[in-house]
Amino acid sequence: MHQSLPLVTTLAGALGVALLLGFLAARLKLPVILGYLVTGILIGPHTPGFVANAQMAKELAEIGVMLLMFGVGLHFSLSDLMTVRKVALPGAVLQIIVATALGTWLATSWGWALGASLIFGLSLSVASTVVLLRAIEVQHDGLESTSGRIAVGWLIVEDLAMVIVIVLLPPLAGWLNGKGVDANLGEALGLTFIKMSAFIAFMIIVGRKIFPKILWHITRTGSRELFTLCVIATAISVAFISSKLFGVSFALGAFFAGMMMRESPLSHRAAEESLPLREAFAVLFFVSVGMLFDPSVLINHPIQVLAVVSVIIIGKSLAAAVLVLCFRYPLNTALLISAGLAQIGEFSFILAALGVELGLLPIAGQNLILAGAFISITLNPLLFKLVNPFQKWLTSKSAFAKKLQQSANPLPALKMISDEKYLSSSVVLVGRGQVEKKISRTLFNNGIPYIVSEINHADFKQTSAIKKRASIKNEPADTLFQSHVSRASMLLIAIPGILFVRHLIKTARAVNPNIEILVCSYDAEEVTLISSESVEKVFYSEHELSKNVSTHILNRYGMLK
């Protein structure tokens, strides 16, 4: 049976054991990825007992890589990156350089060749997107916090940098004494550049128009399974066809497929519908990585393993903390970011596997990278729990650390779209959707200064460059402060959620007791509850909502006779 059904046997063994060990890891408050990696060790060739089909696991892992990269592209948001670009872009690039230099120096001190050392250093420089995002979301204030948004931007830059490395590594392999092409470096890079340019042009010109239309036509059938099939088929088919036609990697093809799919208004549904299958194959990817790991490296080379872990947890995270502090963020933010980056994951595995395939990285190097990933992922939750105690201890012992914690958060000082004169006596509009757009257009047409504060920045798109309009995207409390609510004459809340609305009302009253507060609601029960709060007026009725609000504001500013 094992010989005749290798796919079924591999899937049953991998998913069954992964479920048990993932559940155990979750109960121990460890990342579930650790459970998946240990599963790979247990069903791999380096441990006794059941051994899964290695070739089958490798092919399943390839699908896992495609879907992982498709998910990265599907969630890639240039607007997310732009909000924290001043810290995330230079910070991530410099941190990659520092960590790569440390890893390269470490490998060369062991007598490794330059190519092997560079791959080794790069593999230690990039954090796991899955581990970091889940840790930020669970352990602290979530992805909408200042630290969370910086982490997201940082990860985007790291992921894009690794995508570029994956593309350039094959043509550079020969120059680095690997199994690359025999042509000279200039010809190899030139050919790669031409193929890449053709691929990107094709995806932007053709894919950007075709994918959203295909998704729309599939949606009109009303079939949920066809919609999910369309998303998954796009990811895998584009990755495969791109590899055959343009010579790019599966990972890059899937990444661009996700980016183009994001152009569709249905991209959020595409992400949700495809999530279960993407996560299932992601599990298989991590299991397959575990199958490659030889645990004997922990016994035979403990000093080297300790050195690798030191680079990941101390060297890389220390560099990140210093860089964040250099951009005048508080000590707490710097410690949170550094703790989140003190681990390595999926891109490290992809780079290590590619390095071995190209003959650049020895198997021993891959084992050291995997050992560093195992240990750093295991310790990561503990590092997050130590952030606050360590910060309190540090600020109590050092006046300099106390000063760093009190550093002004640069977010409130972000350059606003509006001029300073428009900030006083303005209308602060917290909302999203058609109501916000109609009201803001009315205010603009009548010359009333206003500021739009968008809480859910993932759904927000700035559609106009209005001089009297400022756009702020942040967590709830910071949103009002950055919107200069203390100087505003009116606050309009046009978002759902009674608890969230009450929080905004309470914060606004504390900052500006004389501000006039208006609330829009689509829910009759919510209207009753909000009416008992200290607000001037609550508007209800979806059809007349924006019209009534606009009329009230125009009357308040003397625009109506």
pTM for the model: 0.63
pLDDT confidence of residue 415: 38
Residue partners of 497: CB distance under 8 A and separation at least 6: none
Host H or E run for residue 284: helix 267-292
Intrachain domains 60-392 and 414-556 with the same fold: no
Cβ(167)–Cβ(192) below 8 Å: yes
Summarize pLDDT for 417-432 with one digit per residue, the tens: 445 555 556 788 887 6
What fold is seen in the domain 60-392?
A: Na+/H+ antiporter like fold (1.20.1530)
**Measured distance CA(134)–CA(153) in Å, rounded:** 15
CATH number of 414-556, picked from 3.30.70.100, 3.40.50.720, 3.10.20.600, 3.30.70.20: 3.40.50.720
Q: Pseudo-torsion of CA 28, 31, 36, 38, nearest 10°?
A: -60
pLDDT confidence of residue 303: 94
Token pair for 319: 């560099």
Full DSSP string of 318-344: HHHHHHHHHTT--HHHHHHHHHHTS--
pLDDT confidence of residue 124: 92
Full DSSP string of 522-543: S-HHHHHHHHTSS-SEEEE-TT
Q: Would you give the DSSP letter of residue 31?
A: -
pLDDT confidence of residue 473: 40
Low-confidence ranges of the chain (pLDDT < 50): 1-2, 140, 180-182, 408-418, 456-476
Cβ(500)–Cβ(508) below 8 Å: no
Domain limits, the chain: 60-392, 414-556
- Which region, left, alpha or beta, applies to residue 538 given φ > 0 means left and ψ of -120 to 50 means alpha? beta
